[in-house]
Amino acid sequence: MPDQRPSRTVVIALGGNAITAEDQLGTHEEMLANCMEMAWAICDLVEKGWRVVIAHGNGPQVGNISLQQTAAEPDVPAQPMGSLVAMTQGWLGGLIELSLRNLGGPDFPTVVTVVTHVLVDLDDPGFANPTKPIGHFYTRLVAQEKELLGWQIIEDSGRGYRRVVASPQPIAILEAEAIGSLVDNGFLVIAAGGGGIPIAGDSGSLAGVDAVVDKDRAAALLASQLQADALVLVTAVDTVLLDFGTPTQRALEEVGAEEMRGHLRDGQFPPGSMGPKVESSLRYLQDCDGMAVITSVGMLVSALDDAVRAGTRITRSAARVS
């Protein structure tokens, strides 16, 4: 029996690496199994009365499609990165939808995936400095071979080398009003997949952009436009850690936005790992008096339970460091 308290809206950002783990090939069976695991937590939230909007990443998957595009030329013309993002929206949205429908039961909300466009600025510095990793990890030798294809390659967090593409800041989500209407009418919505399809221009002349928008930033923007009560950014760890990897490492449990902003300024959260999640949380809290949570899939439900208060919970007000 669903919780009878007034409904609250949460936007949840799931990582593409949660759909295809680092040690997996990315087969249909692997991805569907991973989506089923995430769906259990989503079903629990719906049971507790939450109205849910799901955003998801696509780093490994869009990288795989990019490899397929390159391998198929010249027989099949390669498509721009924005089009590949659109492909992953349908592909991964369908897997998440299928998982939720199979687990949700007859009283579960109707699930719908919305093709989502995100407006970006062509003058964004992200175009001059590509930072968004996509695709597989490579050895140094293979990475050098990929650079001959015109790819930009970086060393990624000590785990190997990956291709990076432009990742501009999202300005607006074009379908936000439609998504809000769906949520208000009881639908569970999957939107802003892969960060959204990046476009630029004005209402009279819009065009796709060769880039990938960070899914956490897109989720934060969507949560702001929907005036959601909570934003949850799912990652591999249960809580955000200060002084990561040092003897003074400690968990942040409940923290105010201003304190979190100070830790960000102090360099506690690198741009290639926790930085975008913290920035996205703070951006959401500028527009909404809600709660931003950074935690793992396993702690997702308890993180939104006020009696448990798991994960790292960030609010506008000051709070303690655990």
Question: Up-side HSE of residue 280: CA atoms within 13 Å toward CB?
Answer: 31
Distance CA 64, CA 25 (A): 10
Q: In the structure encoding, which two tokens stand for residue 308, read together?
A: 């448990």
User: Per the omega criterion (within 30 degrees of 0), is the bond before 6 cis?
Assistant: no
Distance set, CA 314 to CA 30, 92, 182, 294, 322 (Å): 33, 29, 27, 8, 13
List the catalytic residue out of 57, 82, 104, 132.
132
Catalytic residue status for 17: yes
One of 16, 104, 180, 290 is an active-site residue; which one?
16
132 counts as catalytic: yes
Give catalytic status of residue 277 as yes or no.
Answer: yes
What are the C-alpha distances in Å from 242 to residues 248, 262, 282?
A: 8, 12, 17
Query: Which of the residues 146, 193, 194, 277 is marked catalytic?
Result: 277
48 is catalytic: no
Determine whether 215 is an active site residue: yes
Considering 17, 48, 272, 298, which one is annotated as catalytic?
A: 17
Distances (CA, A) of 122 to 81, 166, 169, 216, 283: 15, 11, 10, 20, 21
Q: How far is Cα 289 from Cα 315, in angstroms, rounded to an integer?
A: 8
> Which has the closest alpha carbon to 320: 268, 264, 250?
250
Please pick, among 64, 215, 290, 311, the residue that the annotation labels catalytic: 215
Residues 195 and 217: beta-carbon distance below 8 Å:
yes
Catalytic sites, residue numbers: 16-17, 132, 215, 277
